[in-house]
């Protein structure tokens, strides 16, 4: 990403925070340019396995508390969660497991989601919250191109979609993008196969989920 101009692009944005997922890097790989670009403070959660997972969060505002992982060794070893806290705000960068490689990983994904729901509920009750990340779920039919053919595939399973509905309808978070853009064919991920990018055959699996008061400020 650095070689392809990510940090040059980032420096031109007027962003208070930038969340990144799937770093595939360890602490030893991180240069000063990766750790603190353009005056940002960088906070990271690395996977124990090399070349795997990892999340990061860049902020211009020094937090009062940084949380890496959410206390579950199975997933904390995979580097999937980093959170910064301020007196009235928490921001999370998260990378939900993919279940596409087989049933074992799908069950791990279900476990992760089951643990994340009460965690988010508690945080949202304490302060304003923004979760930014790769959730690896297309919520509704509008959120992927070939929804009919994917109803039994990871990322569009009924249980996964129900988790998203629970996060929005019961925990009370807001899908900020969908609040602003109700149009079809808005995707965030495309397969490398079959000219998916060129044909816009994609999935919307990356989200900004926010508490209602914060979501209402989005333009």
Structure tokens at 150: 């994917």
Task: Quote the strand ranges of 96-205, DSSP E.
Answer: 128-134, 174-175, 189-190, 202-203
Would you report the helix, strand and coil content of the chain in percent, each value rounded to 5? 35, 25, 40
Task: Quote the strand ranges of 22-167, DSSP E.
Answer: 41-45, 55-59, 65-68, 81-86, 89-95, 128-134
From the list 14, 17, 27, the residue with the least C-alpha distance to 208 is 17
Residues taking part in catalysis: 134
Q: Are the CB atoms for 65 and 84 separated by under 8 Å?
A: yes
Distance CA 203, CA 219 (A): 23
Size (the chain), residues: 219
Residue 39, by phi and psi: left (phi above 0), alpha (psi -120 to 50) or beta? left
Neighbours of 127 (CB within 10 A): 13
């Amino acid at each position: 990403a650095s070689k392809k101009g990510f940090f040059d692009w980032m420096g031109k944005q007027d962003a208070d925070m930038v969340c990144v997922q799937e770093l595939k890097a360890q602490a030893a790989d991180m240069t000063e340019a990766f750790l603190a670009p353009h005056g940002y403070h960088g906070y990271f959660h690395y996977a124990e396995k090399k070349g795997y997972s990892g999340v990061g969060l860049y902020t211009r505002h020094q937090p009062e508390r940084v949380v890496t992982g959410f206390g579950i060794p199975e997933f904390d070893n995979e580097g999937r969660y980093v959170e910064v806290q301020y007196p009235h705000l928490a921001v999370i960068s998260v990378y939900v497991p993919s279940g596409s490689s087989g049933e074992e990983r799908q069950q791990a994904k279900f476990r992760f989601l089951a643990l994340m729901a009460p965690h988010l509920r508690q945080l949202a009750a304490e302060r304003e919250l923004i979760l930014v990340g790769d959730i690896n779920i297309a919520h509704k039919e509008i959120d992927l191109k070939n929804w009919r053919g994917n109803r039994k595939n990871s990322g569009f399973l009924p249980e996964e979609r129900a988790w998203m509905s629970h996060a929005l309808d019961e925990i009370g978070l807001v899908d900020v993008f969908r609040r602003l853009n109700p149009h079809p064919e808005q995707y965030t991920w495309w397969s490398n196969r079959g000219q998916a990018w060129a044909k816009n055959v994609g999935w919307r699996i990356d989200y900004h989920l926010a508490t209602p008061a914060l979501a209402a400020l989005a333009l």
